[in-house]
Amino acid sequence: MSSTDPRNRLLQLAEARGVSLAGLSAFIGRNASYFQQYVRKGSPRKLEETDRRKLAAFFGVAESELGAPEEISPVPAAVTPATQRNASHVPVPRLPLDASAGQGAVVGDEVPVDTIFFSTRWLRAHGFDPGFLSAISVVGDSMEPVLRDGDDILVDQRPRPLSDGIHVVRVGESLLVKRVQTGPAGRVVLESANPAYRPIELPIDELQVIGRVVWKGGRL
């Protein structure tokens, strides 16, 4: 076992990358206080193997730095080409979900299928915490020309008060990408960019805001 305290090492890595413990918790699919409890109170006593592996890949370090036996990762990941890439770029999970710019896509399994790499400098310049980011695809034409069918969008899932802007929202079992406008007391309006689609007004308690859309990418 490495002599490095994995809790202190996790704090060092998070600080160097500019990622909060809450963001890291969200990144591995845990509640926001998971790594606070791990670092401050020693619970859990050690990281689960799958969580440790994901963190090691994210930071580009050997798993032994996070508490794994040395034989699991004898060569520090920092010397590999992939780690050199991670030093300047952050992997953001790409989820197998389609945010419908139309009638609504049924929510499926939220296990990442791959990653999209973003510049660490660019993310920091815009104040984004990688642990709260995910990428999904747009389906449908209701947000054209702003968002087109097949575009990838970057969704910032940091908790924040609801404000006007383009968001990914869950209504029932459907996932939508719409421009959210605050309406009369206790209600919101979901607007499409395409004038062929009428606005949707509904009680705010029937809406779950997944996150704000902060970037898009797609084919020309």
pLDDT in tens, 16-63: 776 778 878 877 778 878 998 999 898 999 999 888 888 887 787 888
Crossing angle (nearest 10°) for helices 49-59 and 6-17: 40
pTM exceeding the 0.75 threshold for the entire prediction: no
Kind of pairing between the strands at 89-100 and 133-139: parallel
pLDDT of residue 5 exceeding 70, the answer is yes
d(CA 156, CA 151) in angstroms, rounded, equals: 16
pLDDT value at position 109?
46
Q: Can you tell me the distance from the alpha carbon of 10 to that of 21, in angstroms, rounded to the nearest whole number?
A: 9
Distance CA 69, CA 213 (A): 40
Query: Where does CATH 1.10.260.40 sit in the chain?
Result: 6-79
Which residue ranges does the chain devote to CATH 2.10.109.10?
90-217
pLDDT of residue 75: 42
> Residue 85's pLDDT band (boundaries 50, 70, 90)?
very low
6-79, CATH topology level: 434 Repressor (Amino-terminal Domain) (1.10.260)
85-105 in b/e form (b: 16+ CB < 10 A) is ebeebbbbbbbebbbbbbebb
Q: What is the pLDDT of residue 199?
A: 93
Q: Which residue has the higher pLDDT, 203 or 87?
A: 203
Q: What is the CATH number of domain 90-217?
A: 2.10.109.10
User: How far is 211 from 131, CA to CA, in rounded Å?
Assistant: 13
- Mean pLDDT for the chain? 80
The distance of Cα 105 from the centroid of its chain, to the nearest Å, equals 19
89-126 pLDDT per residue, tens:
777 877 766 666 554 444 444 445 567 888 888 998 99
Q: Which comes out higher in pLDDT, residue 78 or 212?
A: 212
| pLDDT for the residue numbered 114 | 65
